[in-house]
Amino acid sequence: MKKKYFLNANIIDPQNSIDEVGGLIIGENGLIEAVGKKVNTNNIPSREKYIDLKGKHLIPGIVDMRVFVGEPGFEYKENFRTLSEASLSGGVTSVVTMPNTNPIVDNVSIVDFLKRRGRDKAKINIYPTASLTKNLEGTNMTEFGLLQAKGIVGFTDGYKTIQNTRLMSRIMRSAYDLNCLVMQHVEDKELAKDGMVNDGIISTKLGLQGISDLAEKIIIERDLTLLEDFNCRYHISQISSLKSLDVIKKRKESVEFTCGVSINNLSLNENDIGDFRTFLKLSPPLRTEDDRLALIKGVNNDLIDVIVSDHKPEDEEQKRLTFAQAATGASGIETLLPLALELYHNESLKLNKIIKALTCNPAKILKINKGNLSIGNDADFCVLDINKPWLVKKENLISKSKNTSIEGRKLQGKVTNTFVKGEELFKS
Amino acid sequence: MANVNKAIKISQKHLLGIQDLSISDVNFILSEAKQFIDLNKSKNKKLDVLRGKTQINLFFEPSTRTQSSFELAGKRLGADVMSMNLNNSAIKKGETLIDTAMTLNAMHPDIIVVRHQDSGASNLLSQKVNCAVLNAGDGRREHPTQALLDALTIIDRKEKIEGLKIAICGDIVHSRVARSNIYLLNMLGAEVNIIGPSNLMPKDIEKLGVKSFSDMKKGLKDCDIVMMLRLQNERMTSSFLSSNREYYEYYGLTPDKLDFAKDDALIMHPGPMNRGIEIDTNLADDINKSVIKEQVELGVAVRMACLKIFCE
C-alpha cells in the first residue's frame, strides 16, 4: 500500500483531545503515522500527492455497539457483505453483532464460523457477542470464559432480558471472575407483555397495548442493586425514558456502569408512529417528547455514554402487517451518523459529544482499540461533508432490508469517504 | 349526481373511525339514517339504491349482530352481499391481511366491511384496496357505526345530545365502542363520564376530554344516559379482576346504582350482554329504561346510511 496524505481537514478525535484543522498520514502498513495540526505541506515530500480536505471533517470510524445481522439463519434480511457495505456508507467501521441469529451464538463452535464469515465477507471489523444464556432461554449461563477466549467481546441476550433475579446475580458473579462485559436489554417481561408502543395517550388512541416506562426502570433498579454487591462490567444496552435517567443519575455515585441509547429514541417520539407506521414499532418503544429531550440531556451530562443504531433489518413482508403482527425494529446503520448530526445542527448536542458517543466511548467499554486516531493504530476513519443536505429514501439504502424509521426525512451531513486499515472502501 | 352529493357531504373516502369525521359528516350520516328508520318498519323494505353494487363483509373476528346488521343493510339497499368469516380459514394457511385484501380487490367489490382483532387493520386494508372500506371494529381502536347508532338512539329518545351527561361504564381499556363513543359524544356536545376499575382504564384517558371515575355511584350522578360495556374476558391475558361476583358488586348496573342517575335515565348496551356480570338482568329488559333493542333496530338504519354514502 502506498502512503496516503490528507491535509486541511477538521479533525475530531475525542479520545486524543484533537479538535483542530490538520492532516493525517497513513503508512504503507495501513497504520496512522501522524495526525493533527502539525501535519501540513511541510511534512510531505514534494513529489507526493496529497488530498485536500478543506471544509470537510475527518473523524475516527464509528463503533456501533448494537447491530443485528441476519447471518446465520436470516441471510435474506442482512448478511455480512450487505451489512459491511451499508456500514461503510455511513462511516461505521466496527460493529458489535447481537447473538439473536439461527443458530444462536451461545457456544464456541459457532464463534469460529462467525469470525470466518466476518473476515471473508465483511470489510469492516466485526465484533460478535454471545448470548448470556443458552438458547436465549434465560435459564442456564453460557461459557463466558471459553467464549471470551475465542474473541467474544461481550455477552447479551440481545432483545431479551434476564428476568430471573437469582440468575442475574450469578451472571454478574461469573462475569466478575472472568472480567466479561454484560450488556442488558432492560425490560420487565410481564409488565411489557404484548406491548407495542409507549403506554400513554397514543396507545390509548391507537388502541394498542402500551409498554410502561416502569418496565424499564424496574430492571435497571434491580440490576444496579445487584451490581452494588457483584461488581462486574455492566452496560445498559439502551434506555428510553426520563424515569430511567433519574435512576441512573442517582446510582452513578455509588456503582460503576455504562449506558447506551438508540439514535431512534434521540430523534423520534411516539407521535411519529402516526397512522400505525409499523417501521416505528421499536424496542424500547419511542416515548414522549419529554423523554426524548431528557435523553439528549443525558448524553450531554455524560449519563449516557453511547449512541447506537440498534440496526435491526427486517424484510418488508414482516412489516406489511397489522401493527400487532409486524416485526419490531428498524434498519439504521447507514443513517446513524447523519441522523446524529441533526442533533448537532439543531444545537441539541455539541459535535465533540456526538463523536465521542459514537467512537471512543463504545470502544473503551468493549476494551477494543478502536474509535480513535492514535498513532500506530489501524487507520479506520471517515471523511464527512457536515453540511450536505440529502433526503432519506428507502430505495437508496444499501442495507438488504429497507425498514428505515426515517423515510422521507431531510438530513444534513453525509459521509464522503470511509477507510478501514488505510484502505478506501467507500467513496460517495 | 350521487357522486356529486358524496363529494360535497362527506369528507372521507373510507369510514375508519369517528376521529376522522367532521361534525358535518356525522350530521349527514345521521340524517340519512333517519330516513331509513321508517322504511325498516314498513312491509316492503327493499330499495334499489345499491343495485349492481358488490359488498363484501370481511370478518376476521366472530360477530353476530354487527355482521347480520351489515348484511341486512346491504340487502335492503339492493346490493349483492357476500359475507366471509375468516376466523380460521385463510389466516391458518398463513395468508396475511394484505394478501386477502388483494385477492378480494381483484374481484372488484364496491365496498368492503371489515372487522379484525388488531387495531389499525382497517386502516391498513384501506391503503391497499381501490374501494371504500367501512370499519366494523378494529381491535380496541374504533367501532364507528356502533357509536353512530348509539347517537341516533339517544337523539331518537332525547331529541338531542348536546348538554346531556353520559356515562360509559365497564371494560374501557379493551373497548373500541368506548373510544368511538367518546369521540362522537364529545363532538356532539355531551359531557362524558368514564367509569370502571383502574385495571380496565386506558392510560391518560382524561386527555380525550372525559372525566374518569372508579366509584360508579359518583360517576353516575345526574347522568341522562348510562352506557354499559361488555366485560371482554377473551381479551384479558392476565388477571385484571378478582372475580365476576366482585365486579358485579361494584360495577354491575343494579337498580340501587342506577338511582344515582337521573330518574329518566336510559340504559344502553352494545351487546352481547353478560347478564348478572355487568348488568342486572331485569334492568336490561326493562322497557321503560332500557333501549338496548332499539339500538339493534337503529343499527340497521345507520349501516344502510353508511353503505349508501360511502359506496360510490
B141 interfaces chain A, CB cutoff of 8 Å: yes
Q: What are phi and psi of A7, to 5 degrees?
A: -130, 160
Percent of chain A exceeding pLDDT 70 equals 100
Of A204, A207, A325, the CB nearest to B203: A204
Q: Measured between CA atoms, how close is B42 to chain A, in angstroms?
A: 39
Q: Which residues of B touch A276 (CB under 8 A)?
A: 119-120, 123-124
Question: CB distance B118–A322 less than 8 Å?
Answer: yes
Of A200, A206, A321, the CB nearest to B141: A206
Q: Measured between CA atoms, how close is A200 to chain B, in angstroms?
A: 5
**Contact call for residues A121 and A81 (beta carbons, < 8 A):** yes
Q: Which residues of B touch A320 (CB under 8 A)?
A: 96, 98
Q: What are phi and psi of B29, to 5 degrees?
A: -60, -45
Complete DSSP assignment for A35-60: EETT-SGGGS-TTS--EE-TT-EEEE
B12 interfaces chain A, CB cutoff of 8 Å: no
Q: Measured between CA atoms, how close is B158 to chain A, in angstroms?
A: 29
Q: What is the pTM of this model?
A: 0.93
Nearest residue in chain A measured CA to CA from B16: A275
Contacts for A29 with CB less than 8 Å, ≥ 6 apart:
A1, A422
B199 interfaces chain A, CB cutoff of 8 Å: no
Q: Measured between CA atoms, how close is B118 to chain A, in angstroms?
A: 6
Alpha helices in A327-406 (DSSP H): 336-345, 351-358, 360-366
At A227 the pLDDT is 97
Q: Measured between CA atoms, how close is B282 to chain A, in angstroms?
A: 33
Enumerate chain A positions whose Cβ falls within 8 A of a Cβ in B. 190, 193-194, 199-201, 203-208, 210, 275-276, 317, 320-325
Pairing state between β A4-13 and A18-26: antiparallel
Of B96, B118, B205, the CB nearest to A323: B118
The residues pairing with B266 across neighbouring beta strands, listed in sequence order, are B225
Please tell me the distance from the alpha carbon of residue A131 to that of residue A105, in angstroms, as a whole number: 6
Q: What are phi and psi of A43, to 5 degrees?
A: -85, -10
Contacts for A311 with CB less than 8 Å, ≥ 6 apart:
A64, A66, A67, A68, A83, A95, A330, A331, A332, A333, A336, A399
Please tell me the distance from the alpha carbon of residue A150 to that of residue A251, in angstroms, as a whole number: 33
Position of cell 471473508?
A: A120
At B94 the pLDDT is 63
B205 interfaces chain A, CB cutoff of 8 Å: yes
Q: Measured between CA atoms, how close is B230 to chain A, in angstroms?
A: 17
Residue B74: pLDDT band (50, 70, 90) is very high
Please tell me the distance from the alpha carbon of residue B198 to that of residue B219, in angstroms, as a whole number: 13
**Contact call for residues B295 and B229 (beta carbons, < 8 A):** no
Nearest to A101 by CA among A126, A121, A129: A129
Please tell me the distance from the alpha carbon of residue B209 to that of residue B199, in angstroms, as a whole number: 20
pLDDT tens across A303-316, in order? 999 999 999 999 98
Please tell me the distance from the alpha carbon of residue B150 to that of residue B129, in angstroms, as a whole number: 29
Residue B85: pLDDT band (50, 70, 90) is confident
Burial of B108 (0-12, 13-18, 19+ CB in 10 A): exposed
pLDDT(B6) > 60: no
Pairing state between β B111-116 and B54-59: parallel
Neighbours of A253 (CB within 10 A): 6
Question: CB distance B202–A193 less than 8 Å?
Answer: no
Q: Which of A310, A378, A380, A385 is catalytic?
A: A310
At B3 the pLDDT is 47
Residue B1: pLDDT band (50, 70, 90) is very low
3-state helix, strand, coil in chain A (%, to 5): 35, 25, 45
Nearest to A40 by CA among A79, A84, A8: A8
CA B67 to chain centre: 12
B61 interfaces chain A, CB cutoff of 8 Å: no
Question: CB distance B119–A276 less than 8 Å?
Answer: yes
Please tell me the distance from the alpha carbon of residue A169 to that of residue B178, in angstroms, as a whole number: 45
**Contact call for residues B140 and B234 (beta carbons, < 8 A):** no
Mean pLDDT of the region B94-115: 89
pLDDT(B93) > 90: no
Question: CB distance A275–B120 less than 8 Å?
Answer: yes
At B101 the pLDDT is 86
HSE value, Cβ hemisphere, 13 Å, CA-based, for A198: 25
Please tell me the distance from the alpha carbon of residue B248 to that of residue B273, in angstroms, as a whole number: 13
Please tell me the distance from the alpha carbon of residue A141 to that of residue A132, in angstroms, as a whole number: 6
Query: Which grid coordinates are listed for B60?
Result: 376476521
Nearest residue in chain B measured CA to CA from A199: B203
More confident residue, A72 or B91: A72
Query: Which grid coordinates are listed for B202?
Result: 386506558
pLDDT tens across B170-229, in order? 999 999 999 999 999 999 999 999 999 999 999 999 999 999 999 999 999 999 999 999
At B87 the pLDDT is 74
Question: CB distance B120–A205 less than 8 Å?
Answer: no
Query: Which grid coordinates are listed for B124?
Result: 391498513
Mean pLDDT of the region A198-212: 97
Question: CB distance B97–A321 less than 8 Å?
Answer: yes
Question: CB distance A203–B96 less than 8 Å?
Answer: no
CA dihedral A394, A395, A399, A401 (to 10 degrees): 70
Q: Quote the strand ranges of A347-409, DSSP E.
A: 381-391
Mean pLDDT of the region A29-41: 94
Of A200, A317, A322, the CB nearest to B120: A322
Alpha helices in chain B (DSSP H): 2-9, 23-41, 65-76, 97-105, 121-128, 144-158, 176-187, 216-220, 244-251, 255-258, 281-285, 292-310
Alpha helices in A233-349 (DSSP H): 242-251, 263-267, 289-300, 336-345
Q: Average per-residue pLDDT in chain B?
A: 92
Question: CB distance A193–B238 less than 8 Å?
Answer: yes
Question: CB distance A210–B118 less than 8 Å?
Answer: no
Query: Which grid coordinates are listed for A29?
Result: 502498513
Of B97, B205, B237, the CB nearest to A322: B97
Q: Measured between CA atoms, how close is A310 to chain B, in angstroms?
A: 26
pLDDT(B8) > 70: no
Q: Which amino acid is at A280?
A: L
pLDDT(B2) > 90: no
Nearest 5°: the CA angle B218, B222, B227 is 80
**Contact call for residues B289 and B62 (beta carbons, < 8 A):** no
Q: Count A/B contacts: CB-CB distance under 8 Å.
A: 70
Nearest residue in chain A measured CA to CA from B139: A207
Complete DSSP assignment for B129-177: -SSEEEEEEETTTB-HHHHHHHHHHHHHHHS--TT-EEEEES--TT-HH
Question: CB distance A205–B140 less than 8 Å?
Answer: no
**Contact call for residues A26 and A379 (beta carbons, < 8 A):** yes
Burial of B72 (0-12, 13-18, 19+ CB in 10 A): middle
pLDDT tens across A153-203, in order? 999 999 999 999 999 999 999 999 999 999 999 999 999 999 999 999 999
Residue B169: pLDDT band (50, 70, 90) is very high
B182 interfaces chain A, CB cutoff of 8 Å: no
B176 interfaces chain A, CB cutoff of 8 Å: yes
Helix or strand (DSSP H, E) at A417: strand A410-420
Q: Which residues of A touch B202 (CB under 8 A)?
A: 203-204
Question: CB distance B203–A193 less than 8 Å?
Answer: no
Q: What are phi and psi of A159, to 5 degrees?
A: -90, 10
**Contact call for residues A332 and A62 (beta carbons, < 8 A):** no
B91 interfaces chain A, CB cutoff of 8 Å: no
Question: CB distance B96–A194 less than 8 Å?
Answer: no
Question: CB distance B208–A204 less than 8 Å?
Answer: yes
Please tell me the distance from the alpha carbon of residue A79 to that of residue A19, in angstroms, as a whole number: 36
Question: CB distance A207–B238 less than 8 Å?
Answer: no
Q: What are phi and psi of A261, to 5 degrees?
A: -145, 145
Nearest to A174 by CA among A148, A199, A201: A148
B138 interfaces chain A, CB cutoff of 8 Å: yes
Q: Which residues of B touch A193 (CB under 8 A)?
A: 237-238
Question: CB distance B238–A201 less than 8 Å?
Answer: no
pLDDT tens across B126-161, in order? 999 999 999 999 999 999 999 999 999 999 999 999
Residue B88: pLDDT band (50, 70, 90) is low
At B4 the pLDDT is 47
Chain B interface mutation, best of A204, A273, A281, A288, highest count of B Cβ atoms under 10 Å? A204
**Contact call for residues A187 and A215 (beta carbons, < 8 A):** yes
Question: CB distance B139–A321 less than 8 Å?
Answer: no
Check whether the bond before A338 is cis (ω within 30° of 0).
Answer: no
Neighbours of A40 (CB within 10 A): 14
Burial of A17 (0-12, 13-18, 19+ CB in 10 A): exposed
Neighbours of A422 (CB within 10 A): 21
Chain B interface mutation, best of A202, A205, A317, highest count of B Cβ atoms under 10 Å? A205
DSSP-derived 3-state class of residue A318: helix
Q: Is-catalytic flag, A310? A: yes
